[in-house]
Structure 1
Amino acid sequence: MGSTKKGMLCVLAAAVLWGSSGVCAQYIMEKSHISSPWLTMTRLLFTGVILLTLSFVHGDKIFAILKSRKDTFSLLFFSLFGALIVQLTFLLTIEKSNAATATVLQFLSPTIIVAWFALVRKARPTLPVASAIFTSLLGTFLLVTHGKLTSLSISPEALLWGIVSAFSAAFYTTYPAALIARYGTLPIVGWSMLLAGLMLTPFFGGQGGDFVVDGRLLMAFFYLVVIGTALTFSLYLKGAQLIGGSKASILSCAEPLSSALLSVVLLGVAFSLPDWLGTLLIVSSVMLISLDSRRKARVAA
């Protein structure tokens, strides 16, 4: 198998697994009565340990960042406002609505990123980027109102956490670029998740006595942490390395679609025509942004 096909398969597999992890989280919270903050805390702690272990085995110097006071502070900042907020708000959105809606709303982050950079640089957006902003806004409108101006199809809490999740995902994607360039992706992401989990522990570590736990829920938690987070992250990194970030972004559009399909099939979530149209519009906005990035890259070359 060629490297391009291998990379595409890795990214597609990662996107589908990411989509399924949200569905898995919804199943866990519904069946076990685990709160979203407690699940966020345990997911971050376990995933952080796994990623740092993988990084250490890979030969990375995982403690190098701790020798720089400035970079350690940046890591703590990223852990709090990146890893912690993005994971917590995503699971809160699932808790207040469902996995499909949470995943689609978080997928607004690429549009937020390009709109922010256009604003900061005082540059007029290109036609594809302007179209992406419009389609993402229209998609969000259909998803949260079903086309009715006077009512919401999801709770105000779900909408609030979903929008915060999208903005935090945009921050999570852009902020750690300098740290990753110096220390590598796995060490930074691993540390940020572990530290974020530790930050939540004083507040939610004492919970757990009233949770319902059985074999299926333990398997679901294993899937969420190991398959849906650690393995998925590794697959995406490998795939993006082989085919490039722009192609990887396009293929990652399978994430909200897989989440929607799995939510309908496995959890019985009702997804109406406006929901599907809104999802497709938001997905198309990401594709427009990715295609514009590829065009700019060809022009620069």
Structure 2
Amino acid sequence: MTKKASLGIVFATSAAILWGFTGLLSQYLFKETDVSIGWLMGVKTLISAFIVLLAAYHTEGNKLFEVWRHPSDYLQMAAYGLIGLAGVQLTYSLTVYDSNAAIATILQTLGVVGVIIYSALVFHQRPRRQEYLAVIIALIGTYLLVTRGHGLNIALSPATLRDGSLLVLCGTGLAVLPVGLLKKYSSLTILGWGLLIGGIIFEVGHPFWVGLPTFSLINTSCIILITLIGTTLSYLLFLHSMNYVNSTVAALLDTFEPLTAAVGTMLFFNASYNWAEYLGSFLILSTVFILAVGKKN
């Protein structure tokens, strides 16, 4: 495996772990405090957008605005901002609210199937044998985590199934929509404008001055961590990883997110796990080693 591929795997894996961690923080806010989903979405997305755009302008200057001079590019940017960034954040938060962080991240993992189908149909990119194997093992691991080894007995509410299905579709968009843009623009540029588009949409639906939550030390700390780590840094790492690995590999490595969330719910929310969940976690972890033995190309 090349050094670039290794770097891409590190970026994508780090993003997934950070998402899993901040999913736990979101679960705490939504279940234990008066912080609403609508309020949090707009605030964290807009703040992250301004941080990333300032960093992009500092490093690239006026090149930051190049994307808005080409209609095909800004249409793709709008789709990435609405479906990939805003869509994933909203459907993920709704699924956390309906169930918990572990279930939400497990369902998001299934987006890798959509990525493979999209890549095959649009880019005529046939997955390598290692990717097929990694997908199968990741899905088996996800199945064991969801069912706890009890056949098809999945205790998910209708709301969880609805929001989780939308999460899978948006997760696919998150991985495939920015691929063309990454060939022309930097990760900072794409992420900054995408977040700004999503943040504006959220603020139209729920302005930040409406329904202000109670600001305690714990609540404020969680909001800051979700904004800086769970939105700004994690999305930047994931997007940057696709400069080194393809979207299929990046989406496969997102399986570290449900693993992090599952362990976190056990440690911090007193969740219990059986043999099937432990085995599922092991299988999910093994996907990174399967990808590591792939061909250099």
User: Unaligned regions of 5+ residues in structure 1, if any?
Assistant: none
Give 1:226's match in structure 2, choosing from 218, 225, 228: 228
- Paired AA for residue 261 in structure 1: V
Give the C-alpha shift of residue 178 in structure 1: 1.6
Q: CA RMSD in A?
A: 3.4
Counting only pairs closer than 5 Å after superposition, residues 86-101 of structure 1 correspond to structure 2 as 86-101=88-103
Q: Deviations over 1:226-265 (max 9, x none)?
A: 1233233455667777xx4378777765433222222221
Moved more, 112-121 or 212-221: 112-121
2:41 matched residue in structure 1: 40
TM-score by length of 2: 0.80
- Paired AA for residue 55 in structure 1: A
Q: 1:119 to 1:130 in 2, by over 3 A?
A: farther
Q: Deviations over 1:88-118 (max 9, x none)?
A: 1111111111112212221222333224434
Identical pairs, percent: 28
Q: 1:123 to 1:225 in 2, by over 3 A?
A: closer
Q: 1:101 to 1:276 in 2, by over 3 A?
A: farther
Give the C-alpha shift of residue 194 in structure 1: 1.1
Taking the aligned partners of 2:240 and 2:79, their CA distance within structure 1 comes to 27
Q: 1:123 to 1:219 in 2, by over 3 A?
A: closer
- Paired AA for residue 186 in structure 1: L
Moved more, 161-170 or 220-229: 161-170
Aligned residue-pair number: 290
User: Unaligned regions of 5+ residues in structure 2, if any?
Assistant: none
Taking the aligned partners of 2:149 and 2:38, their CA distance within structure 1 comes to 32
Taking the aligned partners of 1:37 and 1:208, their CA distance within structure 2 comes to 10
TM-score by length of 1: 0.79
Taking the aligned partners of 1:124 and 1:74, their CA distance within structure 2 comes to 24
Are the aligned partners of 2:67 and 2:73 in contact in 1 as well (CA < 8 Å)?
yes
1:76 matched residue in structure 2: 78
1:59 matched residue in structure 2: 60
Taking the aligned partners of 1:273 and 1:208, their CA distance within structure 2 comes to 46
1:193 matched residue in structure 2: 195
Taking the aligned partners of 2:287 and 2:68, their CA distance within structure 1 comes to 39
Please state whether the residue corresponding to 1:21 is helix, strand or coil.
helix
Taking the aligned partners of 1:192 and 1:240, their CA distance within structure 2 comes to 16
Q: 1:287 to 1:108 in 2, by over 3 A?
A: farther
- Paired AA for residue 178 in structure 1: G
Taking the aligned partners of 1:98 and 1:279, their CA distance within structure 2 comes to 17
Taking the aligned partners of 1:181 and 1:198, their CA distance within structure 2 comes to 26
Taking the aligned partners of 1:153 and 1:40, their CA distance within structure 2 comes to 27
- Paired AA for residue 111 in structure 2: S
Taking the aligned partners of 2:176 and 2:57, their CA distance within structure 1 comes to 24
Taking the aligned partners of 2:157 and 2:210, their CA distance within structure 1 comes to 27
- Paired AA for residue 35 in structure 1: S
Q: Does 1:111 align with 2:113?
A: yes
Moved more, 63-72 or 140-149: 140-149
Taking the aligned partners of 1:234 and 1:121, their CA distance within structure 2 comes to 24
1:144 matched residue in structure 2: 146
1:245 matched residue in structure 2: 245
Are the aligned partners of 1:93 and 1:102 in contact in 2 as well (CA < 8 Å)?
yes
